[in-house]
Every structure is written in structure tokens, then in C-alpha cells.
Amino acid sequence: MSPASPSSRWTALAAIWACAAVLLSVQALAMVPAGAPLSFSVWVVSQQIFRAVFWALLTPVVLRLRDAWPLEGPRRYGHLLVHLGFSIALMFAFWLLRIPALMLYDGQAAAVITWDSVVSSFNLRNLVDVVLYWSTLVGAWIYDLMRASQRHALDESELRARLAESELGALRQQVQPHFLFNALNAIGALVRLDRKHEAVHALSQLSALQRTLLESSGVPAVPLAQEIAFVERYLAIERLRFGERMQTAVTIDPAAAELPVPNLLLQPIVENAVKHGVARRTGPTRVSVHAVRLRGALRLVVRNDPPEADVPAGAGTGFGLRGARQRLERIYGARATLAFDAAHPDGVTVTIDLPTGPAPSSRPTSP
């Protein structure tokens, strides 16, 4: 959040003291005796408006006093006494400013104002000025705490964004050489088998993947349709390695196609499905990716056929899942979940639920 401009601070200050004037006037009117003339009620209200204006003008002075004698630190108790003295002094200052007006309202000439009449004009209602002083002091302290909390939240958000961006760069560096090596091996095998048409198609898919990685460099979030397209190209290249042993199914809810997701969120998880599913089975293995929009959430499901009887399932704690969990926690906090289920009847399943709010950003913006 950017610091408030001077004009907005003065506007807020004026609004606060206007509300205080209304509250003071209502309270004073409640104490007006029944049957009092209208002129008396107007006089009472004008006094409270004057009081609010007096304290509005003194607010910068009170803030300066707060800075000079802060309520924190080893000398805070002594500073409390200093502020108590200032609050009483300003109460008397307002009382003395009102005396000539009070005397005139009572029909007394300023020349005949006596000490007895001055003393008699003081009553316990004047203590409201002490309360207003301390209200201003405490209000400024609370405002400072809120601003400090906002700055801390902003700093924390920026740190999370930098961590997420760093992780995205590391993930991209891991993804690119890994499947590039596998893809080139598969393409080389196709060339040796004189399957030129398939080799050309594979090179086209690999080129599209590389272009996507370059174009999305530094982009924290992409539309789901773009993330799914990247995964489909990746699976198409992996099918070259495994041939008929690997079957794929990708479905996406049209209502979810444009929802933002963290860039490269699905690829490591799909790679896990291929590595721990297809590569560890001798028979045909299906890898599926499904995306559906739920009420207030986007659900992504990656699933592969369960391992064969003599091959234990993976524990689900590798880099792909661990890195995805950490990214989701830093981006969404507790609003996103990732669940791993190795015992699902339809196969090893990873389910991700994302909020459908604003896209994750690599740089928080100031409102």
C-alpha cells in the first residue's frame, strides 16, 4: 500500500472531527433541559462545533508532542505524565477561549468579567477535552500500528513473490534440459528407424515447447488452457519414448479454460506420473489430466494407472509434489490444497484445488 497523500490525510482528519462534532452535539443536546428555547440549543451545538474545530486544528500539535515524548521505550511512564499535563493544559486553554463567549451569551459585558464568574463557568464537562486529547494520541498510535502492519504484510508479500519467481526460474531450468534430453533421444530413435514423418512431428512439438518456455519466462501465472497445451505437448513427446505402452487423456472444462494458474504447475506432476507410472510398468499405462471449475475453486486432477503388483508405489514426496506444495503455499497460503492418494481405486492421484480469485503476481501492486 502506498503512503497516503497529504490531501487524503487532511480529508480523513476533517471527516473524523466532523463525526466528533456530531457526536458531541448530540450528547450536549441530550442534556438540554426540556422547554429550553431554540436559541439555547443552537448555542449548545455551536459550542461543540467550536470544540471539534479547536481539536482538529490542534491535532498536528498533538502528533508533534507524541513524537517528542513517545509512549514507547524506557521513559514511557514519564512521558505519560507529560502528556497528562499537556491534556490538562489544553483543556484549560479551550475553557479560557470559551469564557468571553459564555459571558456575552449570559448578557455580561467583557469588562465586568470577574474571577468568580470565570471559576463558576468551569464544570466537569470540560474534562471531555482531556478525553479528546488522549483519543487523538491513541488514535494516532493505532494508525501507526496499522501502517506498520501493512508495510510488514507488503514486505512479506514481496518476499514471497521473489521466492516464487526464483522457484519458477529454478523449475524452468530443471524442466528444460530434462525433457529435452529425453525428447532428443526419442527423436534420434525415430530417425534410426526411418520414421521421418514422426521425427519431424516430434521436432515440431519440441520447438513449440521451447517457444512456450521462452515466451512465458518470468510470467508467474498463465491461463489454464495454456498450461494444459504445454502439458499435452510434453505428453506427445513422451509417447514417442514409450509408444503403445503410454496412453493419455486430457480434458478441460470450458468454463475453466481462462482461469489463471501458476506457470509450470502441472508439468512436474505429470512428469512424476510418467516416471513413476508408465516407466515402471510393462503393460499399457494411462496418464490422465482433468480440469474442472467448481464453486469458488478450480480442481486439477493428475492420475496414472496403479503400479503392478510387484512394484511398490512411490511415496509422493519427490521434488515434483514437494515443490508444487511449497509454491502453492507461498502464492495462495491456506486457500489452495494439494492431495496425493496412492490408494485411489482409479490409480495414483494428485488433486489440486486452487481459488478462482486474482491471478498470482510476481510483483504485488499498491492500491
Least confident residue range of 50-64, 113-127, 185-199, 276-290: 113-127
The answer to whether the CB of 362 falls within 8 A of the CB of 308 is no
CA distances from 241 to 19, 193, 195, 315 (A): 74, 13, 13, 25
| From 13-17, 87-91, 100-104, 341-345, the region with the lowest mean pLDDT | 100-104
Average pLDDT over the chain, rounded to an integer: 77
273: its cell numbers: 506420473
- Residue 141 pLDDT > 60: yes
Of residues 163 and 180, the one with the higher pLDDT is 180
Going from the C-alpha of 202 to that of each of 82, 184, 185, 247, the distances in angstroms are 80, 9, 11, 17
Cell digits of residue 216: 512465458
Q: pLDDT at position 52, please?
A: 82
Three-state secondary-structure class, residue 67? helix
Whole-structure pTM value: 0.51
Per-domain boundaries in the chain = 6-152, 157-355
- pLDDT of 174 > 60? The answer is no
Q: Report the SS3 class of residue 365.
A: coil
Output phi, psi for 355, to 5 deg: -70, 150
Backbone angles phi, psi at 257, to 5 degrees: -60, -35
For position 6, what pLDDT does the model report?
58
CA dist., res. 305 & res. 303, Å (int): 7
pLDDT at 253: 93
Residue whose entry in the numeric block shows the C-alpha cell 508405489: 313
CA atoms within 13 A on the CB side of 265: 36
Per-residue DSSP letter, 319: H
pLDDT given for residue 162 in this prediction = 62
What the block records as the C-alpha cell of 304 is 496414472
239 CB-contact burial (10 Å; exposed 0-12 / middle 13-18 / buried 19+): buried
Arch. (CATH architecture) of 157-355: 2-Layer Sandwich (3.30)
Query: Using one digit for the tens of pLDDT, what is the confidence trace for 38-94?
Result: 777 777 788 788 888 888 888 888 888 888 888 777 787 888 888 888 888 888 887
Cα–Cα distances (Å) from 33 to 36, 109, 135, in that order, read 6, 26, 29
Q: Is the pLDDT of residue 133 over 60?
A: yes
pLDDT score, position 251:
94
In this structure, which amino acid lies at residue 204? S
Extended strands (E) in 143-273: 221-223, 246-252, 260-262
pLDDT in tens, 221-276: 889 999 998 889 888 888 877 888 899 999 999 999 999 998 888 988 988 888 88
* pLDDT above 70 (res 168): no
User: In sequence order, what E strands does the chain have?
Assistant: 221-223, 246-252, 260-262, 285-294, 297-304, 337-341, 348-355
Please give the Cα distance from 222 to 275 (Å, whole number). 25
pLDDT value, residue 173: 52
DSSP assignment letter at 260: E
Q: Which of 257, 267, 207, 204 is nearest to 235 (CA)?
A: 267
Find the helix packing angle between 128-192 and 76-105, rounded to 10°. Answer: 130
pLDDT above 90 as % of the chain: 14
Instruction: Inform me whether the pLDDT recorded for 129 exceeds 50.
Output: yes
